[in-house]
Amino acid sequence: MSISSLEGATFESFVEGPSNSAAAVAARSVASQPGGGRQSLLLLGPAGVGKTHLLGAIAATLRTTQPGLEVCQETAASLLDRARGLHGGLAPLHEAGLVLFDELERISEHRDLEGAVLDFLLARAPMGRPVVLASAQSLETLGSAGAELAALLSEGTTVHLAPPDSGTRLAILRLRSAEFKPGLPDDVLAAVARLPITSVRELLAAIQRLVAFQSVSPGPLDPAQARLLVTGRATARTDDDEPPVPAPASRQVELRPLELADDEFGSFLTEVVASVSHQVDRWRAQVGEAILRHGGEGFLTRRLEALLEAEMPARPGEVLDRFELDVMRLRALESTAASLAPELAGSPAFRDPDRIDDAETALALARLRHDPLPAPSPEFSLERFGEGPGNRRALQAVRGVLHQPGARDNPLVVVGASGTGKTHLLHAIGNQLGTGAGPVACLAAATFAGDVRRLLESGGLANWRSRFRHAGAFLLDDLHLLAGRPEAQEEFLVLFAHLLAHGRQVVVAMNAPPSSLKDIDPRLLSRLEAGLVVELPRPDREIRLLVVKQLLAASPAAGDAALADWLANRPADSVRAVQGAVRRVLSAAEAEGIGPSPALAREVLDRIEPATRPASAGGTAAGGAPVPVRTGQGPEKMVTVWPRIGDRLIEELD
Partner 1 sequence: MSLVNFASREITCKLVYYGPGRSGKTTNLHYIHGRVPEMRRGRLISLATQADRTLFFDFLPLELGQISGFTTRFQLYTVPGQAYYNATRRLVLQGADGVVFVADSQARRFEDNVESLQDLQENLLDHGVDIRELPLVMQYNKQDLPHGLTLTQAELDDALNFRGVPSLPADALHGHGVFETLKQLSGLVLQRLAMAPPEG
Binding site for partner 1 (CB under 8 A): 208, 212, 215-216, 257, 264-265, 267-269, 271-273, 275-277, 279-283, 286, 311-318, 320-321
Closer Cβ to partner 1, 11 or 283, answer by number = 283
- Give the contacts of 244 (CB within 8 A, at least 6 positions apart): 223, 224, 227, 234, 235, 236, 238
The Cα 212–Cα 398 span in angstroms is 72
Q: Are 514 and 529 within 8 A, CB to CB? A: yes
At closest approach, how far in Å is the CB of 218 from partner 1? Answer: 9
Other Cβ atoms less than 10 A from the Cβ of 359: the count is 24
At closest approach, how far in Å is the CB of 215 from partner 1? Answer: 5
At closest approach, how far in Å is the CB of 265 from partner 1? Answer: 5
Residue among 344, 326, 327 at smallest CA distance from 335: 344
At closest approach, how far in Å is the CB of 232 from partner 1? Answer: 15
The Cα 71–Cα 296 span in angstroms is 7
Closer Cβ to partner 1, 186 or 321, answer by number = 321
Closer Cβ to partner 1, 151 or 280, answer by number = 280
At closest approach, how far in Å is the CB of 475 from partner 1? Answer: 48
Give CA angle at 362 (372, 338), nearest 5°. Answer: 85
Q: Is 618 exposed, middle or buried (0-12, 13-18, 19+ CB in 10 A)?
A: middle
At closest approach, how far in Å is the CB of 204 from partner 1? Answer: 14
At closest approach, how far in Å is the CB of 446 from partner 1? Answer: 50
At closest approach, how far in Å is the CB of 73 from partner 1? Answer: 23
Closer Cβ to partner 1, 282 or 370, answer by number = 282
Closer Cβ to partner 1, 270 or 489, answer by number = 270
The Cα 286–Cα 448 span in angstroms is 49
At closest approach, how far in Å is the CB of 274 from partner 1? Answer: 9
Locate all alpha helices (DSSP H) within 297-315, ordered by sequence. 302-309
Positive or negative, the CA dihedral 439, 444, 446, 447 is negative
Closer Cβ to partner 1, 312 or 639, answer by number = 312
Closer Cβ to partner 1, 155 or 321, answer by number = 321
- Give the contacts of 30 (CB within 8 A, at least 6 positions apart): 38, 41, 58, 98, 130, 132
Closer Cβ to partner 1, 261 or 456, answer by number = 261
Angle, helices 186-193 vs 166-177, to 10°: value is 140
The Cα 528–Cα 141 span in angstroms is 77
For β-strands 40-44 and 131-135, DSSP reports them as: parallel
Q: What is the DSSP letter of 374?
A: P
The Cα 385–Cα 583 span in angstroms is 18
At closest approach, how far in Å is the CB of 208 from partner 1? Answer: 8
At closest approach, how far in Å is the CB of 210 from partner 1? Answer: 12
The Cα 11–Cα 453 span in angstroms is 61
E strands in 353-457:
412-416, 440-444
Closer Cβ to partner 1, 268 or 641, answer by number = 268
Name the phi and psi angles at 393, rounded to 5: -65, -40
Closer Cβ to partner 1, 76 or 304, answer by number = 304
Closer Cβ to partner 1, 298 or 313, answer by number = 313
Positive or negative, the CA dihedral 164, 170, 174, 180 is positive
At closest approach, how far in Å is the CB of 286 from partner 1? Answer: 7
Residue among 411, 425, 414, 423 at smallest CA distance from 499: 411
At closest approach, how far in Å is the CB of 189 from partner 1? Answer: 19
Closer Cβ to partner 1, 176 or 570, answer by number = 176
At closest approach, how far in Å is the CB of 322 from partner 1? Answer: 11
Closer Cβ to partner 1, 170 or 255, answer by number = 255
Q: Render 531-558 in DSSP notation, one character per residue.
A: SEEEEE-S--HHHHHHHHHHHHTTSTTT
Locate all alpha helices (DSSP H) within 555-638, ordered by sequence. 561-569, 575-592, 598-608
Closer Cβ to partner 1, 273 or 413, answer by number = 273
The Cα 526–Cα 513 span in angstroms is 11
The Cα 594–Cα 541 span in angstroms is 27
CA distances (Å), 207 to each of 170, 203, 213, 314, 635, in order?
11, 6, 10, 24, 92
The Cα 337–Cα 317 span in angstroms is 30
At closest approach, how far in Å is the CB of 277 from partner 1? Answer: 5
Closer Cβ to partner 1, 281 or 606, answer by number = 281
How many residues belong to the chain?
654
What is the distance between the terminal CA atoms of the chain, rounded to a whole angstrom? 112
Other Cβ atoms less than 10 A from the Cβ of 50: the count is 33
Q: Are 73 and 225 within 8 A, CB to CB? A: no
